[in-house]
Amino acid sequence: MTTLSSTPDTVALQESIERHARYSLGKTWSGLSVRDRFNAVALAVRDRMVDGMLATEDRFKRSDSKRVYYLSIEYLIGQSLGNNLLNLGIREACREALSNLGTDLDDLEESEPDAALGNGGLGRLAACFLDSLATLGMPGYGYGINYEYGLFKQEIDDGYQREKPDNWLAQSTPWEIPRPDEACLIPVYGRIEDSVDRRGLYNPMWMDWKILIGIPYDMLIPGYGGHTVNYLRLYSARSSHDFDMGIFNDGDYFKAVEQKIASETISKVLYPSDAVVAGQELRLLQEYFLVACTLRDIIRRFELDHTSYADFSAKVAIQMNDTHPALSVAELMRILVDEKDVEWEAAWQTTQATLAFTNHTLMPEALEKWPAELLGRVLPRHLQIIYEINRRFLDQVRISFPGDAERAQRLSIIEESAPKQVRMANLAIVGSHSINGVSAIHSELVKTVLAPDFFKLWPGRFNQKTNGVTQRRWLLKANPPLANLITSAVGDDWITDLNRLRELEKYATDAGFQAAFQKVKQFNKEKLASVIEDAIYLKVDPNSLFDVQVKRIHAYKRQLLNVMHIVDQYLSLIEDGHQPAVPRTYIFSGKAAPGYWLAKQIIKLVHNVARVVNNDSKANPWIKVAFIPDYRVSLAEKIIPAADLSEQISTAGTEASGTGNMKLALNGAVTIGTLDGANIEILEEVGAENMFIFGLQPSEVQTLRQQKTYRPRDHYARSPRSKRVVDSFSSNLFSPHEPDLFKWIFTSLLDPNDEHVHVADFVPYIEAQRQVADTFGDRAQWSRMAILNIARVGKFSSDRAVTEYAREIWGVRDASLPSPVGAFAGSGETGQSNPSAVLTRA
C-alpha cells in the first residue's frame, strides 16, 4: 500500500524492500521478524550502493586515478543503516516507505548489531577516514580482517566486568558482499632452500609451506551525497580444503578437522587492546594475513591497467595504520623482487615511495616486537628480506653517523637481545616515505622521544596529521536535534565543510539560540536518562550536570582521578556538609581488556562507589554515579549528544590524540582536560576561556619521571582533601563486604613510581571541577561556552585530516565529483524532514 503523498523515491524504495523480503528472504512482509525487516531494508539500500560503487569504479578506472589503500587491523564501524541512508540522501524516503508498510525506521536502525571490529580510537579513526574518503570523492579503500567475533560484549556482575563473545556474523550481515572469485592464496610457515635458478643466480625457494585462503567480503562505503561509493574489503581465512581428505582417509578425522579449524582461526577473533600479544603466533599470522591478502589484491588491481612496476608508486599509496600492517614493507619487497623480477634497489625505492606509516602510541609496551625465531618460523622468506633491508640500512647509518655504534643499534630493525627481536616500528619507519603522529604534541613526541634517531636521519619524512571525526556520523546522525538547530541557523554546508560552524559564533550570546540549544541538550539528556534507567535501573536527573567519561578503561586515561573527585564531593557533603554548587551525574562507560586486572578493578571501583553514593539519601540529590555497560559506537551516539562536561584527563604526554574529545566538543560538551593529545589543539581553537584545563604539562610529568622527583606523600600531607580521598581507599568505605579490596589503590597512589601522578594532579583537578560547577550554575554562560565549542571545532573533521593525508602524503588530489549516482542521491537531506519538528518532539 502506498500513500498518496509518497514520492517516487518512496515508492521505488518500498517496492525494492518488498521485493527483497519476497525473493531474497523468501517471506511475505507481514511474516517477517524485526531482523528480517532490517535485512530486507538493508538489501534494498545495498542495491543502490552497488549501483553507486560500479559507477564510481568506472569513473576511477577511466581517469586512471591513483588509489589509496588504508590498512588497519581494526575498523570500529558500529551500525550502518542510518549512516548509509543519510549519506545516500534517502533516509526520509525510507522512513516513509517503511511507515507505509507499518514499520518504524528508528526501530529497525536500533535493532542493527554493531560491527565492533575494533577496540577504540584507532579502529574508529579508520571508520571515520573511510567516510571522509568517499565524501571527498577520493579512490580510497579500507582493508582489514573479517573477524567472526568482534570486541567482546561487556556485562557487569556485582561490579565486575564479564566478557561475552560477540558473534556478530552469526546471522551474517546484509552489508557484506562475498567475493570468492577474488580469493587469494597465502603461504605461511616452511623453510627457505638455497638454490640457483636457471641462469645460475642465487634463488631462495620457499618450501614446505602451508596455505591459507583469504576470501574477501566488501562493505560498501557511500560518501555523503552519494557521488562516490568506495568499499571496505575484509578478509576471512579459509583452509585450502574443507579438510584434508588424505588424513581423513587414513582414519585421523580429528586431525583433519583440527587443521581446518587452525586455518580458519586466523580471522576468528579480534584481539582486545592491551592484551599481551608479543610472542602470540596467531596475532602474527593475523597481521601477515591482512598484509598478504591486501597486497595481492592491490597487485591484481594494478596489473589490470598497468604493465610496469616503475609506475607503481604513482598509482598506489598504502597507509599503515600503526605497526600492525608493518609487514607490508617486507611483503611488498618480496613481491617485487621474488615475483616481479624487479631489482632490489628499484624495488626498495618503489616500496618506500608507496608506503606511509601512522604511529598511534608512545607506550613502550605497545610498540610491537616479534621474536626473530617466531617470525622466521612463520615467514621464513620475510625474515630473510628484513635482514637484508636492515643490512643495507645500517650500511647507510654507518655512513651518516660514522663510529656511532650505539646509534646504529638503536636504529636497527633487529634488536640484538636474547631472544633477538624484530622491531616493527623501525621496520615501518625504514620502509616508509612518511611517518606521522596523530596530534601536534604526539607528532613532536614521536620526533623527540619515540624516534629521535630516525628524525635526525630523515627529518623530512616526519609530519603531523591531527586526527579527526566525521561530522556525518557524530553530529548529523547521532544528534539530529542539534544538527537541525545548526542548519536552521547557518545552513547545511557544515555537513561537508565543518569549518562553516564558525558562523555559529555570532549566536553564542543570542538568548533565543541559547534557549534552543538548551532545549536540544535537555532533550538529549532526557533520552540518555531513559537509556540509563533501562540499562541499570538507575534514575538520574536530566537537570543535573551530565559529567561524561567514555573511553577504554586504562590507567593512563585516569578514570581513577575522576572517581577521586566523586569521593571528594561525596565526603565533603557527608562529613563537612558542603553541598556542591550544582547536582551532578557522573557517567562512565568503557571496556577493560580482559587480561588487564587494574582496569577491571577500576570498573569495580566505579560500581562500588556508585552503590554507596546512589544509596545515600543525603548524597543522591546532589551526586549520582552511572556506569553504562557495553560501550560501543551505537551507545556512544546516545551518550555524547547528552554530555555537558567532557572528561579528557589523561596523564599529560600519554594520549596520542583522542577523538572522543572532538566528538564531545562537537556536540556541545565543554571539556575539562589536561594538556594532552588533541586537547591542546582544541584549546587553541576554542580558547582557554571555553575549557577547563588543569594539571601538569607533558614536560613536567616527564621530568618527574626521569628525575624521580615525584613525591605523592608531600601532596597527600599538604592537602587534607587529598588525604581524605586517598585514605578512603584503605578503609572499607567502598568495599564493606570485600575487605581491603581497594587497598592497592591507596598504595599505588602514594607510590613515587605512580606513572600517572594522580595525587599531583588531584588538587588542580578538583579546583577546575569547582569552576565547572560554578559556571554550569550560570546557564547563559555555560551555553555560550558550549556553543563556542561547537562553532570552533571545525578543524577536527576527518575531512580535514584526510585532505591533509591526500595532499601531503598520498599525492592524491581531491577528485572532481560527477553528478550524484543513483536516483535518490544528493537530495540535500539533513537528517530530518522538518528541522524544527525534533525540538518539539521531546
Partner 1 sequence: MEISVNNVDGVAVAAVPVDELDASNASEFKRDITPVLQANTKLVLDLGRLRFVDSSGLGAMLSCLRQLSAKSGDLKLCGMSKQVRALFELVRMHRIFDIYATQEEAVRAFRH
Q: How many residues bind partner 1 (CB under 8 A)?
A: 27
- 796 forms beta bridges with none
Q: For partner 1, give the closer residue by CB, 4 or 201.
A: 201
Question: Which residue number, 342 or 686, has a Cβ lying nearer to partner 1?
Answer: 342
Residue with cell 555555560: 782
Residue list 82-111, contact with partner 1 (CB under 8 A) = none
> Do the bridges between strand 140-145 and strand 67-71 make them parallel or antiparallel, or are there none, so unpaired?
parallel
Closer to partner 1 by Cβ: residue 206 or 462: 206
Asked whether 214 and 184 are in contact (CB, 8 A), the reply is: yes
Nearer of residues 351 and 797 to partner 1, judged by Cβ:
351
C-alpha to C-alpha distance for 676 and 696, rounded to whole angstroms = 10
Near partner 1 in 356-385, by CB under 8 A: 381
Query: In angstroms, what is the minimal distance from the CB of 258 to partner 1?
Result: 15
Among 7, 65, 99, 240, contact with partner 1 (rule: CB under 8 A) = 240
Work out the angle between the directed axes of helices 34-63 and 81-88 (0-180°, nearest 10). Answer: 50
C-alpha cell at 642: 547528552
Task: Tell how far CA 78 is from the center of its chain.
Answer: 10
Which set of grid coordinates corresponds to residue 119?
577496540
User: Which residues neighbour 248 within 8 Å (Cβ) at sequence distance 6 or greater?
Assistant: 256
Separation CA 782–CA 787 (nearest Å)? 9
Residues annotated as catalytic are 360, 551-552, 557, 659, 663
Least distance in angstroms from the C-beta of 187 to partner 1? 6
**CB-based contacts of 311: which residues, under 8 Å, 6+ apart?**
none
Show contacts with partner 1 in window 303-342 (CB under 8 A). Answer: 338-339
What would the DSSP string read from start to end of 270-287?
Answer: PPPTTS--TT-HHHHHHH
Least Cβ distance, residue 199 to partner 1 (angstroms)? 8
Within residues 133-192, the interface with partner 1 by CB under 8 A covers 185, 187, 190
Residue 551 amino acid letter = K
User: Which one of residues 165, 246, 621, 752 is an interface residue with partner 1 (CB under 8 A)?
Assistant: 246
The string over 306-329, giving b where at least 16 C-beta atoms fall within 10 Å of a residue's C-beta and e elsewhere, is eeebeebbebbbbbbbbbbbbbbb
Q: Which amino acid is at 31?
A: G
State the minimum distance, in angstroms, from the CB of residue 136 to partner 1: 34
Residues with Cβ < 8 Å from 105, sequence gap 6 or more?
A: 41, 91, 94, 95, 98, 99
User: Which region among 110-118, 173-181, 236-244, 389-397 touches partner 1 (by CB under 8 A)?
Assistant: 236-244
Cα-based distances in Å from 360 to 329, 364, 654: 18, 12, 11
Q: Can you list the positions of beta strands (E) in 105-264?
A: 115-117, 140-145, 150-157, 160-166, 176-178, 184-188, 191-196, 202-207, 210-222, 229-239
For partner 1, the closer of residues 187 and 452 by Cβ is 187
Window 189 to 228, contacts with partner 1 (CB under 8 A): 190, 195, 197-199, 201, 203-211
- Min CB(339)–partner 1 separation in Å: 4
Please, which residue, 351 or 484, has the CB nearer to partner 1? 351
* Minimum CB–partner distance for residue 832 and partner 1 (Å): 51
Across 688-775, the runs of DSSP E, i.e. the strands, are 692-693
Does residue 244 interact with partner 1 by CB under 8 A? yes
Angle, alpha carbons 485-490-492 (nearest 5°) = 80
Cβ nearer to partner 1, comparing 178 with 190: 190
The interface with partner 1 within residues 405-464 (CB under 8 A) comprises: none
Torsion of the alpha carbons at 765, 767, 771 and 776, rounded to the nearest 10: 60
Among 54, 245, 511, 842, binds partner 1 (CB under 8 A): 245
Nearest C-alpha neighbor of 443 from the set 120, 133, 687, 680: 680
Query: Residue 201 CB, nearest distance to partner 1 (Å)?
Result: 8
Burial class (CB in 10 A: 0-12, 13-18, 19+), 4: exposed
What are the helix and strand counts (H, E) for the chain?
34, 25
Nearer to partner 1, 206 or 776 (CB): 206
Q: Which residues within the stretch 681-740 sit at the binding site for partner 1 (CB under 8 A)?
A: none
The nearest distance, CB 183 to partner 1, in angstroms, is: 9
Nearer to partner 1, 249 or 834 (CB): 249
Select from 242, 223, 155 the least CA-distant residue to 536: 155
**Can you say how many angstroms the Cα of residue 219 is from the centroid of all Cα atoms in its chain?**
17
Q: Which amino acid is at 794?
A: G
Give 183 or 773: the residue with its C-beta nearer to partner 1: 183
| Alpha-carbon gap, residue 351 to 841, rounded angstroms | 56
Least Å distance, CB 317 to partner 1, is: 24
Residues 798, 131 contacting (CB under 8 angstroms):
yes
Contact between 233 and 216 (Cβ < 8 Å): yes
609-616 long-range contacts (CB < 8 A, ≥24 apart) are 609/563, 609/566, 609/567, 609/570, 609/734, 611/159, 611/734, 612/570, 612/733, 612/734, 613/566, 613/570, 614/538, 616/570, 616/574
Three-state SS for 175? coil
Least separation in angstroms between CB 244 and partner 1: 7
* Min separation Cβ 350 and partner 1, Å: 17
Q: Is 594 in the site for partner 1 (CB under 8 A)?
A: no
CB of 240: closest distance to partner 1 in angstroms? 7
For residue 343, state whether it binds partner 1 (rule: CB under 8 A).
no
The CA distance from 103 to 86, in Å, is 18
Count Cα neighbours of 399 within 13 Å in the Cβ-side half-sphere: 6
The minimum distance between CB 559 and partner 1, in angstroms, equals 48
Smaller CB separation from partner 1, 185 or 837: 185
Q: Which is nearer to partner 1, 241 or 743 (by Cβ)?
A: 241
Which CB atom, from 195 or from 400, has the smaller least distance to partner 1? Answer: 195
CB-based contacts of 508: which residues, under 8 Å, 6+ apart? 514, 783, 784, 787, 788, 791
> Which residues lie near partner 1 (CB under 8 A)?
185, 187, 190, 195, 197-199, 201, 203-211, 240-241, 244-247, 249, 338-339, 381
